[in-house]
């Protein structure tokens, strides 16, 4: 019997137009009534996800910032935070990179310093809660920071990522978009977050189902028996998954959930 279902967002739950499935909230509600936990596992901020899932927020577990933060019924139950010394080291490096604008991603909020119109537009797009502050290193003393995201107004791969790639033995440095680089602790991944939830609710590997499409879902697929790669998933992810779901543009997550859990709405 399935007791926990987790899904990635972009390329998995959302279609190519970034739209939610029409039946999503009804399905989450029915899963809740069957005592099946439902979780989104995303690189997005908690407060952004909370806004997206406002109608069913009390029926879900939120795995945020690619697994660095987990919220359950409004309570932060896990945070893989960067040490203050690491934050100082990283911010001092980033401040020297031209066209690079750091965001501190914390439990309470996200934080930015100096800004450009393009930067602030993108921050507002991905962070439902953020503050502009005079000094990131000062605000870092008053929150738990789990990720530093860097927006590059030139090109993230050839500019910011090139300057930070040498830190990959100490931190997880990920190129997360044309304009974005993320830095987290090496221990951060969605699979660790799933295992935390499994332990909290006494849910086994065999009672867990997950959906993903890209390599940042790799560890999550390894955390459960019912591992579903989307039809549109990266080939390397498909190789480690036991099952395949229809593509994100075919409503694959919802179709599979309804079939396996026998929800007939």
Here the tokens at position 67 are 């697994």
Pairing of strands 75-79, 69-72: antiparallel
Domain boundary among 185, 214, 246: 185
172 and 89 within one domain: yes
Q: List the chain pLDDT tens, one digit each, 265 residues.
A: 999 999 999 899 999 999 999 999 999 999 999 999 999 999 899 999 999 999 999 999 999 999 999 999 999 999 999 999 999 999 999 999 999 999 999 999 999 997 788 898 889 988 999 999 999 999 999 999 999 999 999 999 899 999 998 999 999 998 877 889 999 999 999 999 999 999 999 999 999 999 999 888 999 999 999 999 999 999 999 999 999 999 999 999 999 999 999 876 5
181 plus 223 within the same structural domain: no
Question: Do residue 159 and residue 99 come from a single domain?
Answer: yes
Place of tokens 């899963």: 31
The CB-side HSE value for 131 (13 A sphere, CA atoms) comes to 13
Tally of domains in the chain: 2
Boundary-marking domain end, from 142, 169, 185: 185
Question: Do 195 and 74 have their domain in common?
Answer: yes
- Strands 208-212, 226-230: pairing kind: parallel
Same domain, 99 and 124: yes
Question: What residues make up the domain containing 67?
Answer: 4-79+188-261
Does 146 lie in the same domain as 27?
Answer: no
181 and 88 housed in the same domain: yes
Same-domain status, 31 and 103: no
Q: Is 8 a residue of the active site? A: yes
Closest CA relative to residue 149, chosen from 118, 166, 172: 172
Q: Indicate the residue among 185, 210, 239 that finishes a domain.
A: 185
What CATH number is associated with residue 221?
3.40.50.1000
**Are 197 and 69 found together in one domain?**
yes
C-beta atoms surrounding 128 within 10 Å: 17
Claim to verify: residue 175 and residue 200 sit in the same structural domain: no
Catalytic residue among 8, 52, 143, 152: 8
What are the strands, taking DSSP E only, across the chain?
4-7, 37-41, 60-64, 69-72, 75-79, 100-106, 110-112, 130-132, 145-152, 171-177, 180-185, 208-212, 226-230, 243-245
- Whether pTM > 0.85 for this model: the answer is yes
């Amino acid at each position: 019997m399935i007791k926990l279902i987790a899904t990635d967002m972009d390329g998995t739950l959302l279609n190519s137009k970034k739209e939610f499935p029409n039946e999503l909230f009804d399905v989450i509600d029915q899963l809740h009534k069957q005592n099946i936990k439902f979780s989104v596992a995303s690189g997005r901020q908690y407060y952004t996800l909370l806004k997206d899932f406002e109608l069913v927020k009390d029926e879900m577990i939120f795995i945020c910032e690619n697994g660095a933060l987990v919220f359950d019924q409004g309570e932060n139950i896990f945070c893989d935070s960067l040490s203050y010394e690491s934050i100082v080291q990283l911010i001092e490096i980033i401040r020297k990179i031209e066209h690079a604008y750091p965001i501190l991603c914390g439990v309470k909020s996200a934080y930015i310093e100096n800004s450009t119109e393009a930067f602030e537009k993108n921050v507002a797009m991905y962070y439902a809660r953020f503050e502009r502050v005079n000094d990131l290193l000062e605000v870092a003393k008053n929150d738990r920071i789990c990720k530093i995201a860097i927006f590059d107004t030139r090109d993230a791969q050839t500019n910011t990522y090139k300057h930070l790639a040498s830190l990959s033995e100490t931190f997880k440095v990920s190129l997360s978009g044309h304009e974005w680089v993320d830095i987290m602790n090496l221990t951060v991944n969605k699979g660790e977050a799933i295992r935390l939830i499994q332990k909290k609710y006494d849910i086994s590997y065999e009672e867990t189902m997950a959906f993903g499409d890209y390599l940042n879902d790799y560890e999550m697929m390894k955390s459960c028996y019912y591992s579903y790669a989307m039809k549109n998933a990266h080939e390397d992810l498909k190789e480690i998954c036991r099952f395949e779901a229809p593509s994100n543009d075919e409503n694959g997550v919802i179709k599979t959930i309804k079939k396996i859990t026998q929800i007939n709405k």
